Structure 1
Amino acid sequence: MDGTILLADDDRAIRTVLSQALTRAGCRVRATGSVNTLWRWIEEGEGDVVVTDVMMPDGDGLDLLPAIRRKRPDLPVIVMSAQNTVMTAIRAAEAGAYEYLPKPFDLKEVLEQVRKGLGQRDRSEERPAIGDPAHENLPLIGRSPAMQEVYRIMARLMNTNLSVMINGESGTGKELVARALHNFGARKNGPFVALNMAAIPRELIESELFGHEKGAFTGAADRHKGRFEAAAGGTLFLDEIGDMPADAQTRLLRVLQEGEFTRIGGREVIPANVRIIAATHQDLRALINEGRFREDLFYRLNVVPVRLPPLRERLEDIPDLARAFLKRAESEGLPRKSISSTALEALKQQNWTGNVRELENLMRRLAVLCPDEVISEGAVHEELAARPSSAMTPSAGESERIGQAIETHLERYFALHGDDLPPPGLYDRILREVEMPLIALALSATRGNQVRTAELLGINRNTLRKKIRELDIPVTRGKKLV
């Protein structure tokens, strides 16, 4: 390597190590522990690449980046930071950093990024600001190496229109990543529209995606705009994309290829002005081999893959996550709680099959049920022992029998009407018939505890309250009816 490196870090040991390594690699190095000195060198036209820490005694290295871009837009800046949050990575990318490296760093990686910076010094792309860089409402939480890699990929994707495929187990936070890519990206002023393929009847997915015209099919009483139209100018998040039926896959592929679509039963050509972010917990390559997912659609969606690690691969993030969930619960009106260090260690010993979502549900229960202000190790063990085990989860065969019972009920329902169709609104009526006993039985099983009921059903507590009001379901505290 040949070039002058301006190195700024308030840690003398880091300056020494990096200076020696860069010098051995053939570079000339000027090192300082001061932001002001670094800026003076830059103003004087020195340096071919900058390597800077974020927090230094006389300032913030990130605050220099806009001035560097105005003064010397071709000067690559590599940012290092021990503040390893997603917002640090986003701030670095939005401010125009050539690369962001979390501490502790890999020395070989620093040298490789410096080498690339020396070979690629032109960076003229303009990036919009993301607002207040100091806000603390982080969309993602965690400082583990596994999450640092996610942050780095996200920071590079923020202001692109590339399709993204997020892969991760249930409960890892796939929609949080999708929302962060939207909220901090170039399309942040547009809508964020989500559609879960597993939650929509297969025969309705095309209509939900692309809309339909009045009279396009039986029951289409009015024109319906689909999610593509609703997301125009913004982001369309397609969750559980592996559950998309074959016909809808074919049509989605055509839309991605042509950049336009028509509503079902319509002729008007509508531009598909959306960024697609897809997510799945399934192995799409295995589905391709089984003939259940189109390979050409996979490559259209999987332009940039993002793998979200399960909680068992980022156990060091559990203390930050647990405290954040307790604070979030407090902001929602639950009792204020803190958690002991031994309790946090107990949490790190668990097998989190439900990942971050399971941990959040546990912290909410502890916030409600633990009588002490500080959650102890004993309270954690007690609540963990009471959580539902895998033995309580319906098997695949039991789920199939439930589906068969519902199907039989619907067959009888249609048979009652003979050759005539049932009155309009069938979907809402059947959904109500299923929801009412499901919520009533769940409330009974938890003795009217709405926090536990929401956790058992896997829905938000506000959603549960709304359903109780809409369906007029009685709630009796402390009494189990079944």
Structure 2
Amino acid sequence: MAATGSILVVDDDPAICVVVGEALRRQGHKVKTAASIRERTALMSSFAPDVLITDVMLPDGDGLDGVAEIIEHKPDLNVIILSAQNTLNTAIRATEKGAFEYLPKPFDLNELTRAVSDALGTRAVAANGDGEGALPHDGLPLVGRSPAMQEVYRTIARVLSNDLSILVLGESGTGKELVAEAIHSLGQRRTKPFVAINMAAIPRELIEAELFGYEKGAFTGAHARTAGKFEQAQGGTLFLDEIGDMPLEAQTRLLRVLQSGEVTTVGGSKPVRVNVRIIAATNKDLLQLIEENRFRQDLYYRLNVVPIALPPLRERREDVILLARHFLERAAIEGLPRKSLSDEAAQMLMAYHWPGNVRELQNLMQRLAVLSRENVIAGDILRHALPLDSVPADHAVPADQLAHAVREWTRRQLGVGLGQGGSRSLHDDLLAVVEPILLQETLASVDGNQIRAAGLLGINRNTLRKKLTDYGLDPLQLRVPD
């Protein structure tokens, strides 16, 4: 049977206090609630909770204020932080204060009750000292409030106080190096070097020399002893990007270095002791490469102690506009003209499938900041800036199949003489066949949501409504059945 205990819930939303309190009482816990820091302080003078659940934004101040002091005086108390400010900054602050868990709002009630159960069975996380050497939170590189990014933030927060190896997984352009930089700049090695090396950008025969260094005369052009990336990153972090492209022979030597903590230069014989944190990243399926004997299984397990999976942008669409505005603001800070997005442009950005992920969005915003003549980026400007194929990949028809279908239709129509000598052209005939199908499939794919459908099609909502009327289509019937 799970352990029960005393819980104090602090939130100025009465509904949250009621729902959370009732859920915890049903599990056998003793629960009290408070709506402010003042009420929390008063209650804790007579009530000794085993777990404190507190919101950050409270009527009389920051709910994180005083948490470190509370834990210092009651080290067996575990604190769970709730916050609607779903940023990496909040996750890091919660961890710094010694919080046991951080849950972004809206939170899953089952996840909260599981966190309480875990907290009751686990010693409190130690507070992070007296505040000296505060972490630099301004200008954090990661932006996003989606549930997927919240999980990334929480994982980052948990690994800052240790040196476990990390493997960052994700498609190209999702921000894998930004994750590595955040872990380094916020962690205990932040005063030491951050050194990055891209395995895909270095010739195979030079990878070992780049990583481990080389002695004078080790090969043609080696005119002096040169330290490798491991020595350059001494005391800091070494980021091994595109690790899936590393040749097997270099993988074997890398594994030996990770196991021994010593590096021997190419052409050298005396090992050098190194102390670095390893963060690796790849956009490839390493397990598949292992099956194909292209990646060492033992190296995989050595690197994949803590995995961090970055979602592609198409799976975190709620972050698209937040990111777009962030990049426009950053462009303005860097001296480019200040721009904003029209509602139509925002809809189009949400509808686009972003094959290049965050990097593609950043490049697009920088380009529009320079090229757009108006202060507000309109839909027609964005339509010309995006690739022609802006239909999400999940609903796109392969180009060769579409071209074949159009060619066959055209031959049939020409064969029977349609589109000739009348008021309608062959183009009009084809459009009358294709367009209603496109409208139906698009609306069905978004469960009848006309705003999203208009964004996918690159037209405004009024135009979409007129086309539906012209073709006699009922949007209420164009929904995916339950």
Query: Would you say same fold, with TM above 0.5?
Result: yes
Which residue identity lines up with residue 295 of structure 2 in the other structure?
A: F
The match for 2:335 among 329, 333, 346 is 333
Q: Secondary structure at the match of 1:62?
A: coil
Instruction: Give the letter aligned to residue 345 of structure 1.
Output: Q
Counterpart in 1 of 2:147?
145
Q: Distance in 1 between matches of 2:329 and 2:218?
A: 49
C-alpha displacement at 1:135, in angstroms? 4.9
SS class of match (1:31)? strand
Which residue matches 1:9? 11
- Return the match for 1:292 from 288, 291, 294: 294
Please tell me whether residue 37 in structure 1 is matched to residue 39 in structure 2.
yes
Asked if 1 retains the 8 angstrom alpha-carbon contact of 2:170 and 2:310, the reply is yes
Cα contact 1:42–1:68 (8 A) shared by 2 = no
The residue aligned with 1:317 is 319
C-alpha distance 352-333 of structure 1, shift in aligned 2 (>3 A): same
Give CA-to-partner distance per residue, 1:407-466, whole Å, 9 cap, x none: xxxxxxxxxxxxxxxxxxxxxxxxxxxxxxxxxxxxxxxxxxxxxxxxxxxxxxxxxxxx
C-alpha distance in 2 between matches for 1:211 and 1:121:
44
1:425 corresponds to? none
CA contact (8 A) 1:35 1:59 kept: yes
Deviation sequence 1:337-369 (CA, Å, 0-9, x none) = 111222111101111000000011111111111
1:59-458 pair list within 5 angstroms: 59-124=61-126, 126=128, 135-385=137-387
Equivalent residue number for residue 452 of structure 1: none
Deviation at 1:69?
A: 2.3
CA–CA separation in structure 2 for the residues paired with 1:385 and 1:223? 49
Cα distance in 2 for residues equivalent to 1:319 and 1:78: 30
- Unmatched 5+ stretches in structure 2: 394-482
Displacement of 1:138 after TM fit?
Answer: 2.5
Q: Match of 2:150, as an amino acid?
A: Q
- Which residue matches 1:407? none
Whether the 8 Å CA contact 2:199–2:240 is kept in 1: the answer is yes
More displaced stretch, 124-133 vs 113-122: 124-133
Q: Per-residue CA shift, 1:215-253, capped at 9, x if unaligned?
A: 122221100000000000000000000111111101000
CA-to-aligned-CA distance 1:47-96 (integer Å, 9 cap, x gap): 11000000101111112222112211221000000111111111111211
Summarize the Cα distance change of 1:377–1:183 in structure 2 as closer, same or farther, 3 Å threshold: same
> Does structure 2 retain, via aligned residues, the 8 Å contact 1:96–1:127?
no
**Alignment partner, residue 54 of structure 2:** 52
Closer, same or farther: CA 44–168 of 1 in aligned 2, 3 Å: same
Shift of 1:132: 6.4
Partners of 1:154 and 1:255 in 2: CA distance: 25
What is the CA–CA distance in structure 2 between the aligned matches of 1:25 and 1:134, rounded to whole Å? 40
SS at match of 1:16: helix
Q: Distance in 2 between matches of 1:292 and 1:40?
A: 62
In structure 2, how many angstroms separate the alpha carbons of the residues matched to 1:320 and 1:230?
36
**Other-structure match for 1:398:** none
- The code of the aligned residue for 1:249 comes to Q
Q: Do the aligned residues in 1 keep the contact of 2:325 with 2:340 (CA within 8 Å)?
A: yes
Equivalent pair of 2:97/2:128 in contact (CA under 8 Å) = no
CA distance in 1, matches of 2:276, 2:129: 19
Larger mean Cα displacement after TM superposition, 341-350 or 174-183: 341-350
After TM superposition, give the deviation of residue 128 of structure 1 in Å: 7.9
User: 3-state DSSP class of the match of 2:265?
Assistant: coil
- Check whether the contact 1:91–1:133 (CA below 8 A) recurs between aligned residues: no
Which residue identity does 1:211 align to in structure 2? G
Contact 2:171–2:283, Cα closer than 8 Å, also in 1: yes
**2:449 aligned residue:** none
Partners of 1:237 and 1:179 lie apart in 2 by: 9
SS at match of 1:63: coil
For 1:207 and 1:134, the matched residues in 2 are separated by 34
Using the TM superposition, name which of 34-43 and 376-385 deviates more.
Answer: 34-43
How far residue 40 of structure 1 moved from its aligned partner, in angstroms, is: 3.4
Could you give the per-residue CA deviations for residues 321-349 of structure 1, whole angstroms, max 9, x where no partner exists?
00000011111211111112221111011
Partners of 2:140 and 2:182 within 8 A in 1: no
User: In the alignment, is the contact (CA less than 8 A) between 2:244 and 2:284 conserved in 1?
Assistant: yes
Q: Select the structure of larger CA radius of gyration.
A: 2
Quote how far apart the aligned CAs of 1:167 are. 0.6
Q: 1:133 to 1:297 in 2, by over 3 A?
A: closer
Deviates more, 1:221-230 or 1:126-135: 126-135
Structure 1: give runs of 5+ residues left out of the alignment: 391-482
1:123–1:85 distance in 2 versus 1, CA, 3 Å: closer
Letter in 1 for 2:205: E
Letter in 1 for 2:301: Y
2-structure distance, mates of 1:131, 1:60? 21
Contact 2:204 2:247 in 1 (8 A): yes
* Matched residue SS, 1:123: coil
User: CA shift at 1:286, angstroms?
Assistant: 0.7
Q: Give the Cα separation in 2 of the matches to 1:377 and 1:11.
A: 39
How does the TM-score come out when normalised to structure 2?
0.78
- Corresponding residue pairs, total: 390
**Whole-Å separation in 1 of the counterparts to 2:327 and 2:116:** 39
Amino acid at match of 1:166: V
Deviation at 1:121, TM superposition (A): 3.3
The answer on whether the counterparts of 2:82 and 2:104 sit within 8 Å (CA) in structure 1 is: yes
Distance 2:162 2:134 in 1: 21
2:12/2:36 contact within 8 Å kept: yes
Name the SS of the counterpart of 2:82 in structure 1: strand
State the Cα deviation string for residues 375-421 of structure 1 (Å, max 9, x = none): 1122111211479999xxxxxxxxxxxxxxxxxxxxxxxxxxxxxxx
Contact 2:136 2:185 in 1 (8 A): no
What SS does the aligned partner of 2:327 have? Answer: helix
Aligned partners of 2:71 and 2:127 also within 8 Å? no
> Retained in 2: the 8 A contact 1:209–1:226?
yes
Contact 1:5 1:27 in 2 (8 A): yes
Distance 1:275 1:97, change over 3 A: same
User: Shift of the alpha carbon at 1:42?
Assistant: 3.3
Does structure 1 retain, via aligned residues, the 8 Å contact 2:214–2:227? yes
SS in 2 for 1:263: coil
Q: What is the aligned-residue identity percentage?
A: 58
